[in-house]
A and B are shown apart, each in its own frame.
Chain A
Amino acid sequence: MNIIELKHVNKRYDDGFVALKDINLKIESGKFYSLLGPSGSGKSTILRIIAGFSQPTEGRVFFAGKDITDLDPAKRQINTVFQNYALFSHLNVFDNVAFGLKIKKRPLREIKPIVKDALKMVRLEGYANREISELSGGQQQRVAIARAIVNEPKVLLLDESLSALDKRLRKEMQFELRAIQKKLGITFIFVTHDQEEALSMSDEIFVLNNGRIEQNGSPIDIYDEPINDFVARFIGNSNILPGRMIKDYEVEFANQRFKCADAGMKANEKVEIVIRPEDLDITSPEKGKLVVTAQTQLFLGDHFEIKAVDADENEWLIHSTNGCKLNQRIGLYFDPEDIHVMRLHESQKDFNARLESYEDEEHDND
């Protein structure tokens, strides 16, 4: 059963800006979703439409099969954790969390245990009487979550919720959010521009660009099989090169032919290939499938980032646990599965169909 479904949703603003173009998406119950994209890609607009703060220009929004397009945000079983938390600064933690229940005129003796549980869920027991201004960013974040979950929503929307936190706290909250979602068993829809965040938390990711969904799928699918160079670039660093499909399981790029794991394309079709920097291994020029010259090298703590060029002046980005000598020829080795072939302008539907046509059971696409 889809808890939320958007059908042909378009959003145009008065000034003519088109924020969303024919968005169709299905959200299942009890999963963790991410809407991932750069700013201005329309991800927050989708969230606001689901929450009810914004109406689509065209298209409908369904909640558990019912059309809720014109329903007030107050009447939706959906709650939001806002970008900068939007906590009520004139109320303390208890009154913030209890707000939704007090609005419903629930008696205080019923409210208290619910608030207590919610604060326990976000690990803020004993903070009920604190003022909002006394809390750290991470704690405010938790209060915002607690406030949103006391209403027992079926869906929780999180708008760039971790972006205000520092890196360490963010990692911590990522684990915690995932844990809270598992415990509550409700749907989370998380909006972010941070691909790492989306990859580490989600069951499914929607990658957005220019008001369109570019690709959706599990984090592994999206990382391993980006549908086009936008997704490939946006999700992690990539080496992207133009290439040509010779035949099934053989592709040509950088003036060489390589074995690959992709098939189902026309012979001699122009394609783009993606190789992730961590899939490139440094070896001697003789053993390498490709020979490049290293130009710069940065030590990043857990790996080296090396930039190199091949004989055709293509740039290669390499992540390697060991460094190499600069301005020397080195060999690059990679497996056929490390080469990801992307057809130009392939739709998600065709892409999935093609993958299913030749792939064995090691991937399960839905």
Chain B
Amino acid sequence: MTDKKTRTLFIVPYLLWIILFVILPMLLILWYSLTDSSHHFTLNNFVQFFRNGIFLRMMLNSFWYAFLITLVTLLISYPAAYFLTRVKNSQIWLLLIILPTWINLLLKAYAFIGIFSNGGLFNQFLHLFGIGPVNFLFTDFAFIFVATYIEIPFMILPIYSAIKDINPAVVQASEDLGASRWQTFKYILWPLSWPGVESGIQAIFIPSLSLFMLTRLIGGNRVITLGTAIEEYFMTTMNWNMGATIGVVLIFLMVVVMLITGRKRRRKKVNL
């Protein structure tokens, strides 16, 4: 490749970026979580976090919602991804699925303010069945629904490419060896597409913990997730130290999630 001197030159702006915008901000957020408003070292923020039921409930809430969002997204996306690999012109279908991700997220959220309103599309639809009007806007259901809506393409894509990479002969081999469709799915398709599912989960679960704009616009002006709480502490009450503490907890949880989904399964050995 190019010689040493130019390579050093290449790496300078990049390293500067890493130091200034990756390492330093992380250290700063950690520092803020460990100090009080007059910059004295304290563990008080964390004590408060874990003593105060509100924070713990919020944490559980965040997890529960993120879990629900991820699960529902997966249930809708897996069949879609599978079918995508089976239809003709899958490239065009794929393009149509990706296209909505390009529309600004805020606009899509805004659309749901109209759709979920008492006279909106959703209630008009329910009215056909003689139900309603039900107040959806500013409910947890609305939050989960919209979050799922936004994440679906991000789940479909990694699963689609994982399924597409499976050699079709493997599925035939399974049938050839006597497996039913369900058995082929359970023992072959699902485990082989798991890497795609895994990256889908990672791409959705973690951002779901911090969708504060959705909770504000759709979920009502309530603090229900860790993301909303961070925004509240930084932008409204201006208690950055507590905000940073919640941030550190969120980072910690994020790392845990990644370790859990990323672990390698160990195989038990057989003796013949």
Contact = CB atoms under 8 A, between A and B. Distances in A.
Contacts of B267: 92, 129
Nearest to A126: B272
Contacts of A119: 272
Interface stretch (B51-59, B140-148, B179-187): B179-187
B86 to A, nearest CB: 15
A84 B173 CA distance: 11
B270 interface: yes
A90 B198 CA distance: 15
Nearest to B179: A103
A88 interface: yes
Given A72-B175, A86-B167, A90-B191, A112 B180 contact: no
B178 A103 contact: yes
A99 B173 CA distance: 10
A83 interface: yes
Nearest to B177: A100
Given A80-B176, A116-B272, 12 more contacts: A79-B176, A79-B177, A86-B170, A86-B172, A86-B173, A88-B174, A88-B188, A88-B192, A92-B267, A112-B272, A129-B270, A151-B178
B180 A74 contact: yes
Interface string B141-171: 0000000000000000000000000010110
A interface, how many residues as a size bin? 35 or more
Interface string A103-134: 11000000011011001000000001100000
A83 B173 CA distance: 11
A80 B270 CA distance: 26
Given A90-B192, A103-B183, A128 B272 contact: yes
A65 B180 CA distance: 25
Interface in A45-86: 51-53, 72-75, 78-80, 82-84, 86
Pairs of residues from A and B, 4 with the lowest C-beta to C-beta distance, nearest first: A86-B169, A100-B177, A86-B173, A116-B272
A112 B272 CA distance: 6
Contacts, number: 81
Interface of A: 51-53, 72-75, 78-80, 82-84, 86-90, 92, 94, 99-100, 102-104, 112-113, 115-116, 119, 128-129, 147-148, 151
B269 interface: yes
A99 B175 contact: no
Main secondary structure, interface of B, reads helix
Interface residues of B, number: 22
Contacts of A72: 175
Contacts of B178: 74-75, 100, 103-104, 151
Contact of B169 (A84, A102, A115, A116): A84
A358 B41 CA distance: 109
Interface string B103-117: 000000000000000
A151 to B, nearest CB: 6
Nearest to A144: B173
A280 to B, nearest CB: 44
B123 to A, nearest CB: 46
Contacts of B183: 103
A125 to B, nearest CB: 8
A94 B176 CA distance: 18
Contacts of A51: 172, 176
Nearest to A82: B169
Nearest to B171: A86
Nearest to A93: B270
5 contacts: A51-B172, A74-B176, A74-B178, A86-B169, A128-B270
Contacts of B169: 82-84, 86
B270 A53 contact: no
B192 A53 contact: no
Contacts of A113: 272
Contacts of A83: 169
Contacts of A52: 176
Interface string B257-272: 0000000000101101
B167 to A, nearest CB: 6
A147 B173 CA distance: 10
Contacts of A79: 176-177
A16 to B, nearest CB: 16
B177 A147 contact: yes
Contacts of A78: 176
A129 B174 CA distance: 20
Contact of A73 (B176, B192, B270): B176
A97 B167 CA distance: 18
A364 to B, nearest CB: 36
B226 to A, nearest CB: 35
Given A83-B169, A86-B170, A112-B270, A99 B177 contact: yes
Contact of B170 (A88, A92, A103, A112): A88
Contacts of B191: 90
Given A90-B191, A116-B272, A80 B173 contact: yes
Contacts of A73: 172, 175-176
Given A99-B177, A99-B187, A84 B269 contact: no
